[in-house]
Amino acid sequence: MEIRTVAIDLARRSGRLLKENLGHAGRIEFKGEVDIVTEMDRKAEALIVEELKRRFPDHGILTEESREKTTSSGCRWIIDPLDGTTNYAHGFPVFCVSIAFEHNGDVVFGTVYDPVLDELFVAEKGKGAFMNDTRLRVSVVSTLDKSLLATGFPYDLRTSKENNLDHFANFALRAQAIRRAGSAALDLCYVGCGRFDGFWEIKLHPWDVAVGALVVEEAGGRITDFEGRPFSIYSSECVASNGIIHDEMLQVLKKGR
């Protein structure tokens, strides 16, 4: 499958580029008060996009740092060339590359590559999720109070009342522990491989969640919005879990409404 081969190759190549330059992020631009983009974001994106345009000239491309390329082919790539930009800019080694392939509005393949740990997550619709060729399954933790959760905070944390602090406080009193690592794509992949039992976040973008959501589903987990409705990569809410603790998580999220 050419889509799979090209996506994995580009994820690894751009990931190596990022790892080689960790600690040397280059020029940093502020898109908002705390929302940044580094020179390496743009270099990794250029590597990926230029090759996709060459190999698949009729495909659309949606990526975090550039204007969307639209086509009528029904095929589109959704790319985050550096998820965890703030981490990367500070030399904190938690970041990844995320590349998803969407066909007629449905994400059917995706890969997330963590170059620091050399972990390659791959998921294909109906064919499972894997990390470095090992098939993934979500955890079997049965209650929220024994669960390790993950979350993140939106870039408008300082100015918006919808900032996830209320949900964080509520979960802190219910879960065993919460981690905030700074990469939604990796958080979701970690739910898929059982390192995290659940994850929630608000105000994410398609490139943040397109691959991770597929990994969770293909690993046997559950992913919805905060009301328990079917998840969309275009939704502003995301809650993912091993499925067992999902309803408990939804009840906690209702307290923040």
What's the angle, vertex CA 226, arms to CA 103 and CA 214, rounded to 5? 30
Per the CB < 8 A criterion, the answer to whether 199 and 188 are in contact is yes
Per the CB < 8 A criterion, the answer to whether 95 and 189 are in contact is no
Domain match, 86 and 168 both: no
Q: Which domain covers residue 119, as residue numbers? A: 2-135
Domain match, 108 and 6 both: yes
Per-residue pLDDT of the chain (257 residues; tens, 9 = 90+): 799 999 999 999 999 999 999 988 767 776 655 566 788 899 999 999 999 999 999 999 999 888 899 999 999 999 999 999 999 999 999 999 999 999 999 999 999 999 999 999 999 999 999 999 999 999 999 999 999 999 999 877 788 888 899 999 999 999 999 999 999 999 999 999 999 999 999 999 999 999 999 999 999 999 999 999 999 999 999 999 999 999 999 999 998 66
The predicted pLDDT at position 257 comes to 61
Residue 81 CB neighbour total at 10 angstroms: 31
CATH number of the domain that 224 lies in? 3.40.190.80
Q: How far is CA 71 from CA 10, 17, 66, 77, 205, in A?
A: 21, 29, 16, 11, 20
The predicted pLDDT at position 65 comes to 80
Domain match, 91 and 172 both: no
How many structural domains is the chain composed of? 2
- CA-nearest of 198, 237, 248 to 221 is 198
Residues 6+ positions from 25 with CB-CB distance below 8 Å: 38, 39, 40, 88, 89, 91
Using the 3D structure, point to which of 91, 111, 135 is the last residue of a domain.
135
Domain match, 23 and 130 both: yes
Phi/psi at 98 (nearest 5 deg)? -125, 125
CA distance 190 to 150: 9
- CA-nearest of 176, 164, 227, 166 to 201 is 164
Using the 3D structure, point to which of 77, 105, 135 is the last residue of a domain.
135
The pTM assigned to this predicted structure is 0.94
pLDDT tens, position by position, 73-110: 999 999 999 999 999 999 999 999 999 999 999 999 99
The predicted pLDDT at position 35 comes to 61
Helices (H) and strands (E) counted in the chain, each on its own, are 7, 14
The predicted pLDDT at position 45 comes to 95
Domain match, 232 and 130 both: no
Domain match, 129 and 151 both: no
Dmax over CA atoms of the chain, in Å, equals: 51
CA distance 249 to 228: 10
Domain match, 81 and 8 both: yes
Domain match, 176 and 238 both: yes
Using the 3D structure, point to which of 116, 135, 154 is the last residue of a domain.
135
CATH number of the domain that 112 lies in? 3.30.540.10
CA distance 74 to 71: 7
